[in-house]
Amino acid sequence: MKRLGIAVIGLGRVGRACVEAAREAGDMRLAGIVRRPEKVAQPLPEGWRDLPVAAHISELRDVDAALICVPTDSVLGTAQQLLQQRIPIVECATLEGPARDAHRDEIGRLAEHHRVPAIVGAGWECGTLPLFKRLFELLIPKGRTEITNRPGVSLHHTSAAQDTKGVRGALCTELRGANGRMQRYVYVELEQGANLDAVSRAIRSDPLFVAEETLVFQVASLAELEQGGHGILMERRGASGRAAHHTLLLEARFHAGCFTAQVMLDAARSLPGRRPGAYAYTVFS
Ligand SMILES: NC(=O)c1ccc[n+]([C@@H]2O[C@H](COP(=O)([O-])OP(=O)(O)OC[C@H]3O[C@@H](n4cnc5c(N)ncnc54)[C@H](OP(=O)(O)O)[C@@H]3O)[C@@H](O)[C@H]2O)c1
């Protein structure tokens, strides 16, 4: 099977999540990352150093799809440049109402003009959440939907992990696993050259953590982790058919960038063989 060559445009929150997700996807190959010229020479996180980095898409080879991860107000200009080069695109701009419609129409016009396919609105907030909402409404046509945004997980500092050799900073949370048992999640930012396995072993053997299942994850930035954690509660109540009091509930805790990345990859998989034009995201795979 030929692996899909992915270019990631812009290495912010969503871009980084796309690189991580594409590296883990067995059916994808990272053709490279496009960054602003002043950022091209900036070192990449350890483990990513083999990835080609360029200031322009034309410097990358074998690109089958480009994932646009630049700020919302730069998406259209970036899309135009890529489509001009006849590169199929996926974008996820967080836009609403008439602005979103105008954005989609313009990308559609460019995609048809340059004879390339483009997928628009492939993210969480604009992309997947509306699909969940639509499905809830389909199952309970007469009813009321309430959506509450709330913090994802409550992270707290942990001096036991923080004081471990090689750890620059640590945050911890407790979640109940699928089996009902409590699990501790410890997120660590490591000192240069520190070894994650050694750090994980040291944390797990600390008296504070030894009694419970403890999972240790390395993150590039704890500040970003605190910012990115997100949660949502969506509930629809109503009547459908003969039976009354139907309820649907979606409770989610997640990093919006990571969900968006998975949706963008799903959209990219559907690009080969598509006719030119813009397509609104729906679940493809
Ligand atoms: N649909 C959803 O649910 C959803 C959720 C989150 C985000 N988004 C969308 O995803 C996109 C990226 O969001 P983000 O949170 O990852 O943003 P971000 O963290 O600000 O990152 C954007 C990246 O784009 C590059 N960049 C910055 N200024 C630029 C400019 N003027 N021109 C071109 N590139 C520029 C930078 O990468 P380099 O330093 O590598 O050049 C920057 O790190 C936005 O369009 C946002 O609307 C959608």
Most ligand 1 atoms within 8 A of CB, residue of 19, 20, 69 to mutate: 69
262 within a domain of the structure (yes/no): yes
Q: What per-residue confidence (pLDDT) applies to 30? A: 97
137 within a domain of the structure (yes/no): no
97 within a domain of the structure (yes/no): yes
Q: What per-residue confidence (pLDDT) applies to 228? A: 66
Q: What per-residue confidence (pLDDT) applies to 19? A: 97
pLDDT per position in the chain (285 positions), as tens?
Answer: 789 999 999 999 999 999 999 999 999 999 999 999 999 999 998 889 899 999 999 999 999 999 999 999 999 999 999 999 999 999 999 998 999 999 999 999 999 999 999 999 999 988 999 999 999 999 999 999 999 876 666 778 888 888 899 999 998 888 776 677 788 889 899 999 999 999 999 999 988 888 888 989 888 888 877 766 678 889 999 876 666 689 999 988 788 899 999 999 999 999 999 999 999 998 876
265 within a domain of the structure (yes/no): yes
| Nearest atom of ligand 1 to the alpha carbon of 13 | 16
Domain that holds residue 269: 4-123+256-280
274 within a domain of the structure (yes/no): yes
Instruction: Outline where the chain has alpha helix (H).
Output: 13-24, 72-84, 97-114, 128-139, 159-162, 196-204, 207-210, 222-228, 256-269
Ligand 1 mean position, distance from CA 234 (Å): 27
| pTM exceeding 0.85 | no
Q: In CATH, what number is assigned to the domain containing residue 69? A: 3.40.50.720
| Nearest atom of ligand 1 to the alpha carbon of 11 | 40
Q: Is the CB of 120 under 6 A from ligand 1?
A: no
67 within a domain of the structure (yes/no): yes
Q: Is the CB of 269 under 6 A from ligand 1?
A: no
Most ligand 1 atoms within 8 A of CB, residue of 8, 9, 14 to mutate: 14
Residues whose CB falls within 8 Å of the CB of residue 73, separated by 6 or more in sequence, listed in order: none
Q: What is the DSSP string of 99-145?
A: HHHHHHHHHHHHHHHHT-EEEE--BTTTBHHHHHHHHHHHHSSEEEE
Cα angle 130, 135, 141 (rounded to 5 degrees) comes to 115
Please state the domain count of the chain. 1
Q: What per-residue confidence (pLDDT) applies to 182? A: 81
Q: What per-residue confidence (pLDDT) applies to 68? A: 98
Q: What per-residue confidence (pLDDT) applies to 285? A: 65
Q: What per-residue confidence (pLDDT) applies to 155? A: 77
239 within a domain of the structure (yes/no): no
157 within a domain of the structure (yes/no): no
